[in-house]
Structure 1
Amino acid sequence: MTLRLGLIFSTTGSYAALGQSAMAGALGAIETLHRRGAPQIMPVIADPRGDMVAYECMTREMLESGVRHIVGAITSWSRKEMIPLLERHGGLLWYPCPYEGFESNDHVVYLGASPNHHVVPVTDWIATQGMRRAFLIGSNYVWGWETLRLARDGLTARGIEVVGERHVPLGAPTPAHILDEIRDAAPDCVIDSLIGPSNTSFLQGLAAHPDRPPIQVLSFNQSEADLAEIGPAANGLVSAGSFFEANAGDTLCDAARRHAPNGRVSSFFATSFAAVEILSAAVRAAGTDDPATVFRAAAATPAVTAMGIMPIDPVLRHAKLTPRLAIAKDGRFDIVNSAAHPVAADPYMTAQSAGRQRPAPGPHRKLRVVK
């Protein structure tokens, strides 16, 4: 049986580097599986260019043409545009990107990092470093809003003051006045939840004044996909992720050299590669490409992937992943902290909320004002 597999990634547009890395991972897996003698996979490729209307149109066209499985979407905005169509047509999305949690849909398999894989390690690390003042900056859509909301909760619970929060339109450069505001606030650290040109311009702008004291920057999603584009301005940045190039074996490195425009393995590349491996193994085990049957097969028998074994929760539909922290240096990431074993996703943050002590409300608590 030949499996027609939809690949929907924005390989052009404002966050093209992420889409190119993810697309390369999926194509690298298809090629690798073919060489191993696995059943044929025929990719059906679409580039929505970061346009949400195009995501909807291209998803509909794929599903109406008989495609039943899609590996794709970079942003949560695009994923949420696709879900109603997946529900209507009975398709299944294999989502390979880190996201903000608080979702579990019967037509999605969540293979990227959840907030307990990225937000929690970052806020824990800040607390262990004795930092007391944090500034938050993110892209102005659901990923930025929700990850920074969770970061604010986590920091506040640890007694760390949030001295400011700003959001930048998706795809826009970070304005100079926000950089000035951050410097004036003199935080110990900045949590950066920006993507694309906003992130590049922010890091380069923040590093453009070597005469000022350096500010520690931490990211929930910085990867090798666009690290070289940022250049020396990324040095010292701490990033959370489920996978870095340092974790990659020969299979992923060889595939990246053949397919990735920058030749690098990123979490986007590796997770898209693993998504195709898991799907291929589940289709063989199920003997059909029926999405519900394939998902049950994938959850019943964890596949061995280039990222390792990735068990999928049959109820929450999220993969177990290994949370890691890494520091950028000269275009590479050095891993400085890693969980001892894969950790179950906690998309609704129930485990964290149960153990969290929130400050008692008092007469001087202030309303949060978002400008």
Structure 2
Amino acid sequence: MERFDLGLVFSTTGPYAALGRAARAGAELAIADLARDRVAQISPIICDPAGRPDAYEAMTRDILERGVSHVVGAITSWSRKDMIPVLERYGALLWYPCPYEGFESNDHVVYMGAAPNHHMIPLLDRMLAAGVRRAYLLGSNYVWGWETLRLARERLNAAGVEIIGERYVPLGDTDCALALSEIAELGAETVINSLIGPSNVAFMRGLPARGHPEVVSCNQSEADLETLGEAGDGLVSAGTYFEELGPEEFVRRAAVVAPNGRCSSFFATTYASVCILAHSIQRAGSTAPKAVFRAACERSHDTVLGAVRIDPITRHADLTPHIAQARQGRFHLLASSEGPIIADPYLTSLQPVQGGLRKTPSLRIVK
């Protein structure tokens, strides 16, 4: 049985604490399961940067100075980008389990979360297939909000969709009054929502109970759906895991250890990341990052996310995109890809919108 230390760097307090708590719980369940199955005895070194970028850098350095070679963590791209120079200096590897906006491939990161062609592109194509003509863009004021909405703006504009407004809310701020008034006054058909944490809760709860536009998102999950209450009903989200997908036994066990009793994409992807890491160390016979990464890329992995293969060039996981809608505190699948899609972080294979609106969705409808 392999034995190694593992850094877990998740903000379990601060503006996106719900996501960090879900992800850390997924890592801890994986560690327990791997010990039970005698695959690995992992000693976690747990840090909580509380959403402060400078703390991510300092805490990562403290972990790596102890001789640790692998870290699972970060939630935002802001935090990941602050960790990367430290990882490069110490030759360590970050297993990043969260959806992000793409346009990165670093030799010291394994991107286990959804890339843009796993979340935003399927979501936009669904909108275009439905004939949306007037959209409002709303995001948290940092790289996730900027880049996801830039992509949305460019693709929707190319299809002839009018962007009637675009606003950004400081991370953690709950004042969404201006956006809410503009959405009502300008007559948006759809709101693309890239808010996170308390900002997202304040916005969703601020919408009128009836008659508001459809709200779609790439980062909504079971980790924070419960906090929205009835305000979450109707929300459409894109991602590479929803609780409804199971497996049933995994969801049941997650309910016992997840902070809110729910199995989210943050929980499931972090669980899968730790399992792939441990099995790759076992095959490599070493914790050396380069050897472990080679071992991780040599085969497809059977995970709670389904079949996952890591591309040795882009360093991203091939994942299966899904679209789901929230009803009564649960996400219910609307459409899914037939299987894993090769990650395209730089969107080099993205087909441009031709001749106006797309007529067919890129995902199959879930019956």
Q: Place the TM-score, normalised by the shorter chain, in its bin.
A: over 0.9
Distance between the aligned counterparts of 1:134 and 1:280, measured in 2? Answer: 44
In the TM superposition, 1:272-351 aligns within 5 A as: 272-351=270-349
Shift of 1:357: 4.4
Q: CA offsets per residue over residues 87-109 of structure 1, 9 Å max, x none?
A: 00001000000000000000000
| Identical columns (%) | 56
Q: Name the counterpart of 1:124.
A: 125
Given that residues 132 and 161 in structure 2 are in contact (C-alpha distance below 8 angstroms), is that contact kept between their aligned partners in structure 1? Answer: yes
Q: Name the counterpart of 2:4.
A: 3
Given that residues 327 and 336 in structure 1 are in contact (C-alpha distance below 8 angstroms), is that contact kept between their aligned partners in structure 2? Answer: yes
1:240 aligns with 2:238: yes
- 3-state DSSP of counterpart to 2:95: strand
Distance between the aligned counterparts of 1:157 and 1:6, measured in 2? Answer: 43
Distance between the aligned counterparts of 1:89 and 1:131, measured in 2? Answer: 48
- 3-state DSSP of counterpart to 1:296: helix
- Of residues 305-314 and 316-325 in structure 1, the stretch that sits farther from structure 2 once superposed is 305-314
- 3-state DSSP of counterpart to 1:351: coil
In the TM superposition, 1:350-369 aligns within 5 A as: 350-352=348-350, 354-357=351-354
Q: CA offsets per residue over residues 198-257 of structure 1, 9 Å max, x none?
A: 00000000135x4xx321000011000010101100100100000000112134213312
Q: Name the counterpart of 2:34.
A: 33
In the TM superposition, 1:27-176 aligns within 5 A as: 27-176=28-177
> RMSD of aligned C-alpha atoms?
1.3
Q: Name the counterpart of 1:366.
A: none
Distance between the aligned counterparts of 2:78 and 2:212, measured in 1? Answer: 33
Distance between the aligned counterparts of 1:5 and 1:351, measured in 2? Answer: 35
Given that residues 281 and 303 in structure 1 are in contact (C-alpha distance below 8 angstroms), is that contact kept between their aligned partners in structure 2? Answer: no
Given that residues 9 and 48 in structure 2 are in contact (C-alpha distance below 8 angstroms), is that contact kept between their aligned partners in structure 1? Answer: yes
Q: TM-score, normalised by structure 1?
A: 0.93
Shift of 1:303: 2.1
Distance between the aligned counterparts of 1:323 and 1:76, measured in 2? Answer: 20
Distance between the aligned counterparts of 2:355 and 2:22, measured in 1? Answer: 39
Given that residues 25 and 255 in structure 1 are in contact (C-alpha distance below 8 angstroms), is that contact kept between their aligned partners in structure 2? Answer: no
Distance between the aligned counterparts of 1:228 and 1:286, measured in 2? Answer: 41
- 3-state DSSP of counterpart to 1:93: strand
Distance between the aligned counterparts of 1:76 and 1:96, measured in 2? Answer: 11
Distance between the aligned counterparts of 2:200 and 2:176, measured in 1? Answer: 11
- 3-state DSSP of counterpart to 2:237: strand
Partner AA of 1:96 in structure 2 = P
Give the 3 Å change call, closer, same or farther, for CA 358–103 of structure 1 in structure 2: farther
Q: Name the counterpart of 1:216.
A: 214
Given that residues 221 and 265 in structure 2 are in contact (C-alpha distance below 8 angstroms), is that contact kept between their aligned partners in structure 1? Answer: yes
Distance between the aligned counterparts of 1:97 and 1:171, measured in 2? Answer: 19
Distance between the aligned counterparts of 1:43 and 1:341, measured in 2? Answer: 33
Partner AA of 1:76 in structure 2 = S
Q: Name the counterpart of 2:183.
A: 182
Shift of 1:340: 0.4
- Of residues 251-260 and 60-69 in structure 1, the stretch that sits farther from structure 2 once superposed is 251-260
Partner AA of 1:26 in structure 2 = A
Distance between the aligned counterparts of 2:252 and 2:27, measured in 1? Answer: 13
Q: Name the counterpart of 2:364.
A: none
Q: CA offsets per residue over residues 287-334 of structure 1, 9 Å max, x none?
A: 000001100100112222222221000000000111110000010000
One of 227, 250, 253 as aligned partner of 1:252: 250
Given that residues 172 and 198 in structure 1 are in contact (C-alpha distance below 8 angstroms), is that contact kept between their aligned partners in structure 2? Answer: yes
**Gapped runs of 5+ residues in structure 2?**
357-367
- 3-state DSSP of counterpart to 2:280: helix
Q: Name the counterpart of 1:191.
A: 192
Distance between the aligned counterparts of 1:217 and 1:357, measured in 2? Answer: 25
Partner AA of 2:89 in structure 1 = R
Q: Name the counterpart of 1:365.
A: none
- 3-state DSSP of counterpart to 1:311: strand
Partner AA of 1:198 in structure 2 = S
- 3-state DSSP of counterpart to 1:349: coil
Shift of 1:196: 0.2
Partner AA of 1:224 in structure 2 = E
Partner AA of 1:186 in structure 2 = G
